[in-house]
């Protein structure tokens, strides 16, 4: 098993920063010319940028750790029979928030996670336009870097005397989200694109949690698993169990809740009833 060292973390961060430079270059170029967009089989957009960055990250991570396979959102047609033999692998989303990139909001990121025994042990969320990076490694801590300023992310106590700040991906998700709320408490929405960036908002205290009632994939949540774990948070599915990785034929996640404090009584605050979430 690959040894987790500060050198490995820095080398992986350097790869993420290089990918971010490419992404920023593409972003600046598309200010005057449209990026080429296609639709994937699940009706989500994919651009030439996604494909270029996927290949770039696969090459760089393979050069860094030649014996460790790389699983990318844009290169994931690998059967479970092969993947389940992996004791460790890189899991990447080269452009998390493709629609945000297309819409030119700046809210998109590069996601890189090292998985060992199907658990995240190193994770990076790098949002180049925002000049913001969240990263963590097992037993090393979780950090946020803005420009050249680095701060350690620390556990926080949930303050129920104020509204609970809930990160959502779109305003249209508000109605469904409200169906999970406990009427005895107040809630406030924070709307933001990119799963990675919403995860970061939970990690840095901008939000108390990130609620997702809809389609996501394992590469969307993997880096947040270790970032939140290292600062006292957690990721739960809709029955308050951990998400699973690399154990299904597909990569889809269930509905989930990312939280800033794993010890708070989230089951009291969010009451999932899948049959009613319509």
Measured distance CA(213)–CA(236) in Å, rounded: 12
Q: In 3-state terms, what secondary structure has residue 210? A: strand
201 labeled binding residue: no
250 labeled binding residue: no
Element (H, E) at 219: helix 218-231
Measured distance CA(181)–CA(175) in Å, rounded: 11
82 labeled binding residue: no
96 labeled binding residue: yes
Closest C-alpha among 122, 206, 212 to residue 176? 212
Measured distance CA(214)–CA(176) in Å, rounded: 10
Buried b (16+ CB within 10 A) or exposed e, 178-210: eebbeeeeebebeebbbbbbbbbbbbbeebbbb
Phi/psi of residue 222, nearest 5 degrees: -55, -50
95 labeled binding residue: yes
Q: Can you read off the two tokens belonging to residue 61?
A: 């991570």
Q: Mention every residue, 6+ apart, whose C-beta is less than 8 A from residue 157.
A: 261, 264
Q: Mention every residue, 6+ apart, whose C-beta is less than 8 A from residue 43.
A: none
Annotated binding residues for substrate, as ranges?
A: 73, 95-98, 220
Annotated binding residues, as ranges?
A: 73, 93, 95-98, 220
Annotated binding residues for Mg(2+), as ranges?
A: 73, 93, 95-96, 220
């Amino acid at each position: 098993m690959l040894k987790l060292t500060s050198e490995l973390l820095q080398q992986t961060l350097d790869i993420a920063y290089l990918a971010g430079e490419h992404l920023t270059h593409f972003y600046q170029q598309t200010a005057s010319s449209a990026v080429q967009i296609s639709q994937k089989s699940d009706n989500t957009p994919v651009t030439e940028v996604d494909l270029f960055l996927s290949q770039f990250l696969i090459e760089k991570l393979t050069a860094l750790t030649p014996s460790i396979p790389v699983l990318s959102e844009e290169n994931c047609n690998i059967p479970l029979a092969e993947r389940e033999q992996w004791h460790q692998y890189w899991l990447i989303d080269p452009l998390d928030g493709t629609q945000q990139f297309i819409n030119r909001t700046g809210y998109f990121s590069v996601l890189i996670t090292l998985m060992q025994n199907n658990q995240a042990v190193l994770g990076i969320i790098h949002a180049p336009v925002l000049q913001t990076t969240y990263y963590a490694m097992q037993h090393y801590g979780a950090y946020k870097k803005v420009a050249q300023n680095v701060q350690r992310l620390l556990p926080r106590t949930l303050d129920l005397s104020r509204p609970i700040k809930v990160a959502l991906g779109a305003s249209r998700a508000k109605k469904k989200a409200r169906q999970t709320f406990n009427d005895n408490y107040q809630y406030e929405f924070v709307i933001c694109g990119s799963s990675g960036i919403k995860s970061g908002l939970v990690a840095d205290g901008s939000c108390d949690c990130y609620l997702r009632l809809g389609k996501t994939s394992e590469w969307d949540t993997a880096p947040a698993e270790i970032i939140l774990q290292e600062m006292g948070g957690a990721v739960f599915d809709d029955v308050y169990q951990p998400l699973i990785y690399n154990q299904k034929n597909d990569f889809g996640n269930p509905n989930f809740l990312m939280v800033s404090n794993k010890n708070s009584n989230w089951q009291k605050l969010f009451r999932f009833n899948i049959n009613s979430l319509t």
